[in-house]
Amino acid sequence: MKTYKKLMQKCINLARRAKGQNFPNPFVGAIVYDEEKKEIISSGFHEKYGKAHAEVNAIKNANGNTKNKTIIVNLEPCSHYGKTPPCSDLIIKSGFKKCVIAMLDPNKKASGGAQKLKNAGIEVISGVLEKEARDLNKFFLKNIQEKKPYVMLKCATTLDGKIALENGKSKWITNEKARKYVHNLRSEYQAIMSASGTILKDNPKLNVRLKNKKSPIRIIFDPNNKIPLDYNVFNNDNRIILINNSTLTLEKHIEQINFDGNFDNLFKKLYELGITSIMIEAGCGFNSLLLKNNEVDEINQFIAPKIFGEGLNFVNGFNFKEINDTIHLKDIKIKQMDDNLLINGKIKTY
């Protein structure tokens, strides 16, 4: 089992290489392993939506050396015809004797591959590094379970939880290393979402300023129609989703959603429009609204060694009476970035 865990970790690391490229599909890596020689024959991962699955790439890279071998994959091989044929059928056809899986597929349409392999006489071991595999595919799991995009809230604060001085100045709270990391984060999410208050104050571009990294779809929350159309967020032809309360005459790349005051309906509508993951970069008001409406799954808080005293808070309007009733993050990860810290935690796990 120790060997399988090491190999599964390699699968997960492989799968991560597709971040930002394979929406709405899950991240999957696969390894063909020779148990007798104790060596990896080949590997592969699902590189991009619509292209070959991880198992197909790993088997192709094995150059026919698959008979009586073991295939390790972090997600149950699919059993249905989608854009590609079932991977479970290819595994059977390739003569594997064993398949090691991290987690079963929560998508009922695609699941059943493990049972199909067992029916064909292939030994199946599942649950190897399942927690790690589920965390890797948190977007996919949220999508399947709730039919909503995964939502991560990012903020940059001082030690005393301020996101700006009292006069609104906020550039720059964090250091250059932290800001570069934020651009990498943006590239891993399909969409970035901000609200009118932040956009009117900062006039951000909400893009990725790193070489060979793709900028996310921009989602603009402007229910009172305050943002002028010459602002930076509208200044190119990438896809934009504008959430407002009117029907403006806009360019073709800008889609409009009418906001009815219900955030659950809003995020379900965004999922219907193909949005699977969203990074929030907004101010206190919008942050608080999303948290109060239970729409945030994860928080990335960058903390600089500064104290503002008076200033704008990260969130406002919460009046908890008991500590047990407060918002409590779990699965905490802490990363140091020179003199800044990043605290990552989940509010909801899948």
| Residues with catalytic function | 55
Beta bridge partners of 330: 346
Decide if 189 contacts 183 (C-beta within 8 A). no
Helix H, strand E, coil C: the string for 261-320 is CCHHHHHHHHHHCCCCEEEECCCHHHHHHHHHCCCCCEEEEEECCCCCCCCEECCCCCCC
CA 29 to mean position of chain CA atoms: 16
* Strands 240-244, 217-221: pairing kind: parallel
Task: Give the integer Cα–Cα distance in Å for 257 and 270.
Answer: 9
**Contacts of range 251-254, beta carbons closer than 8 Å, 24 or more positions apart:** none
The pair of three-digit structure tokens given for residue 279, joined into one six-digit string: 């990074």
Task: Give the integer Cα–Cα distance in Å for 58 and 50.
Answer: 17
Decide if 293 contacts 264 (C-beta within 8 A). yes
Other Cβ atoms within 10 Å of 89 Cβ, number = 17
Q: Crossing angle, helix 54-61 and helix 2-16, to 10 degrees?
A: 110
Task: Give the integer Cα–Cα distance in Å for 7 and 284.
Answer: 43
* Strands 277-280, 150-157: pairing kind: parallel
Residue 281, phi-psi category: left (phi > 0), alpha (psi -120 to 50), beta (remainder):
beta
Count of helices and strands (H, E) across the chain: 10, 16
Give how far Cα 308 sits from Cα of 175, 197, 299, Å.
16, 21, 22
